[in-house]
Structure 1
Amino acid sequence: MTATADPGVLPALRAKARRTVHPEPTPCSHPDTVLAERDDGTVVRHADTVAKAHAPDTNPTALTLRLTVATDNPDILLAPLHPTAAPLHGRLITFWPYGTPVDPEAPEHAPWEEAAILLARLHRQLAPPGLPPMRGPVKAAQAIVRLKAAAPHHPATTSILRAWHTLPAWARAEAPMSDTTTLCHGDLHLGQLVRNPATTGPWRLIDVDDLGVGVPAWDLARPAAWYACGLLLPDEWTRFLTAYQRARGPAVPAQGDPWPVLDVPARALTVQTAALAIAKSTASGRPLDDAQRSVVDACDRMEGIPPELVGGFPK
């Protein structure tokens, strides 16, 4: 998937957001802020309302079910302003209250414990009948497709693909996941948390596009991968994992080594991150940064140790 959005979506979404905030033709001094502009999601803020145009291939029934989960769990997920999506310019759009995101310039204040507790609570909720699988493995597979298209001859591509093919079929979206009942976020990272209202409200999870049923360890996989690659400090990883366990999260054992459960999802997220790093750097002509090189190097190390035999890959 490319990073270039349909140019017609953004102006239509801007206008719709303004009309939603100001249904009457009154003067407005609020600026429009584009929060994201990609094929898989264009997001505009106007005043305290956020309008999102979802990916063109979004299934309307699945999105409605995901919106229902957010509406029914407002103490975990940011609830939409309306429980259903509306069509606009060939896309489905939803409306949300604005929340203050995690400050990327203040990593020492990252809400690791809060994120873990929200995940644990989400994983213990009942999923509505018919909710589709969470889309984590599908997104990892899409990253591999993008890598092959953008950088088939890059020196790192071969090792990334080899690491990918050491993973079991379910982690590559080639077979069903073993867990078909646990409610999962599907794409957990610190960018998926906001405070609402403003900077004083409680943290909530956002972005329901990948939410569904599946293996809950996937939701812990990105911080686990960062820790394994040396990108997340041991203290931060311990805070996150301990908070999840204390909140009775079902993804990992309450005691003992969590890596037999986390290893495959962490490897999958590492491969996904490395694939996207190579694809984006190739497209932009920019060299990899230190963090990107770390995940690419981790793919080299993964190749020689089968994931089912180890508790995490070596640093």
Structure 2
Amino acid sequence: MTEPRLLPELTARVREAAHSRTPPCPCGAAVLADRPDGTVVRHADTVAKAHAPDTDPAELARRLAVAAASPDVLLPPLGPAPAALHGRLVTFWPYGTPVDPDDPDAAPWEAAAVLLARLHRTPAPTGLPPMRGPAKAARAVARLRAAGAHPAAGSVLRAWRTLPAWARAEAPMPDTTTLCHGDLHLGQLVRHPAPDGPWLLIDVDDLGAGVPAWDLARPAAWYACGLLPPGEWTRFLAAYRAAGGPAVPADGDPWPALDVPARALTVQTAARAIAKAVTAGRPLDEVERCVVDACGRMAAGPARSAHRAAK
């Protein structure tokens, strides 16, 4: 639950930040997101984000420094250090035009792939914390366990247990030198300058050193579950390879590299879906059933890859 004073005071902060660079304008502020892990408010050409309450200040500062040093890949922040507001760290960003969710044919799969390849070819700076993808997956499973009984929960938890310890955030990742985004999906791309500048990646909260295949895992899992058409997956993978991305071999079968992260993202998605359905007291929808069913097939044994489990 958002601290009651956070939104109005965050709105005041983003107005102040916006008009430190431009004359005052009469437009209001828009709440772009209001979740426990992040509240985001826009005013004019400026966005303010209140990060999760447990955000580590030093780790966030390191992630902001990476974004500031990589303006051809990551949207750079408007300041070098976060502010504080009601126990939350607040950062300021230029506004970028997001992907249009109502125009799936225009989804920038190639742009996302090229940006990931550039990111993955950038050495992770010394002292950068680990990429937080496995930790987010583990939190989703913990939320599932806390949500209460559901008939599909058992197969999802069994699929989780087939993953290696690093993918469950129970051991260090096998790669500690590659720079990764940690939570790649189409909502993490914006055009900047708005409205039609080049695409850039946003959201540094999970940025860190780790296994680069994790950043390809969500579209890989969607493809394996039948939720992403083969043509779009092929475009994404081909563009990543053409840009020299190191997460998969330059040719041949990509699934030996993608299998564990894709299975982990499938479990994470299914766990979140079930937890939300239990909280709302509703049945799973068709998309949610697809990922839950894939977990059931993966739970048949550790040799069942995410790709084969979808067949």
Task: Report the TM-score, using the length of structure 1 for normalisation.
Answer: 0.95
Contact 1:41–1:53 (CA under 8 A) maintained in structure 2: yes
Deviations 1:152-182 (A, max 9, x none): x100111110000010000000000000000
Taking structure 1 as reference, are residues 92 and 310 closer, same or farther at Cα in structure 2, changes over 3 Å only? closer
Q: What residue is the counterpart of 2:39 in the other structure? A: 42
Deviations 1:43-101 (A, max 9, x none): 00001100000011111111111001100000000001112111111111000000111
Deviation at 1:308, TM superposition (A): 7.5
1:199-214 paired onto structure 2 within 5 Å: 199-214=195-210
Q: What residue is the counterpart of 2:160 in the other structure? A: 164
Of 57, 76, 79, the match for 2:76: 79
Query: d(CA) in 2 for partners of 1:124 and 1:27?
Result: 41
Q: What residue is the counterpart of 2:111 in the other structure? A: 114
1:149 maps to a residue whose letter is A
1:19-34 paired onto structure 2 within 5 Å: 19-23=16-20, 28-34=25-31
Q: What residue is the counterpart of 2:85 in the other structure? A: 88
Question: Quick check: 195-204 or 281-290, which moved more?
Answer: 281-290
Query: d(CA) in 2 for partners of 1:220 and 1:101?
Result: 20
Query: d(CA) in 2 for partners of 1:27 and 1:86?
Result: 22
SS in 2 for 1:69: helix
Contact 1:264–1:307 (CA under 8 A) maintained in structure 2: no
Contact 2:130–2:176 (CA under 8 A) maintained in structure 1: yes
The reply to whether residue 124 of structure 1 matches residue 139 of structure 2 is no
> Where in structure 2 are there 5+ consecutive unaligned residues?
none
Deviation at 1:32, TM superposition (A): 0.8
Task: Report the TM-score, using the length of structure 2 for normalisation.
Answer: 0.96
Deviation at 1:5, TM superposition (A): 2.4
Contact 1:31–1:46 (CA under 8 A) maintained in structure 2: yes
Taking structure 1 as reference, are residues 162 and 64 closer, same or farther at Cα in structure 2, changes over 3 Å only? same
Taking structure 1 as reference, are residues 306 and 160 closer, same or farther at Cα in structure 2, changes over 3 Å only? same
Q: What residue is the counterpart of 1:13 in the other structure? A: 10
Contact 1:263–1:307 (CA under 8 A) maintained in structure 2: no
Deviation at 1:239, TM superposition (A): 0.2
Deviation at 1:307, TM superposition (A): 4.4
Query: d(CA) in 2 for partners of 1:239 and 1:7?
Result: 45
The reply to whether residue 215 of structure 1 matches residue 211 of structure 2 is yes
> Where in structure 1 are there 5+ consecutive unaligned residues?
none
Q: What residue is the counterpart of 2:272 in the other structure? A: 276
The reply to whether residue 302 of structure 1 matches residue 293 of structure 2 is no
SS in 2 for 1:63: helix
Q: What residue is the counterpart of 1:182 in the other structure? A: 178
Contact 2:266–2:294 (CA under 8 A) maintained in structure 1: yes
Query: d(CA) in 2 for partners of 1:188 and 1:258?
Result: 18
Query: d(CA) in 2 for partners of 1:206 and 1:77?
Result: 6
The reply to whether residue 291 of structure 1 matches residue 287 of structure 2 is yes
Contact 1:77–1:204 (CA under 8 A) maintained in structure 2: yes
Among all aligned residue pairs of Structure 1 and Structure 2, give the percentage whose two residues are the same amino acid: 70
Query: d(CA) in 2 for partners of 1:62 and 1:310?
Result: 32
Deviation at 1:287, TM superposition (A): 2.4
Q: CA RMSD for the aligned pairs?
A: 1.5
SS in 2 for 1:45: strand
Question: Quick check: 108-117 or 26-35, which moved more?
Answer: 26-35
1:127 maps to a residue whose letter is A
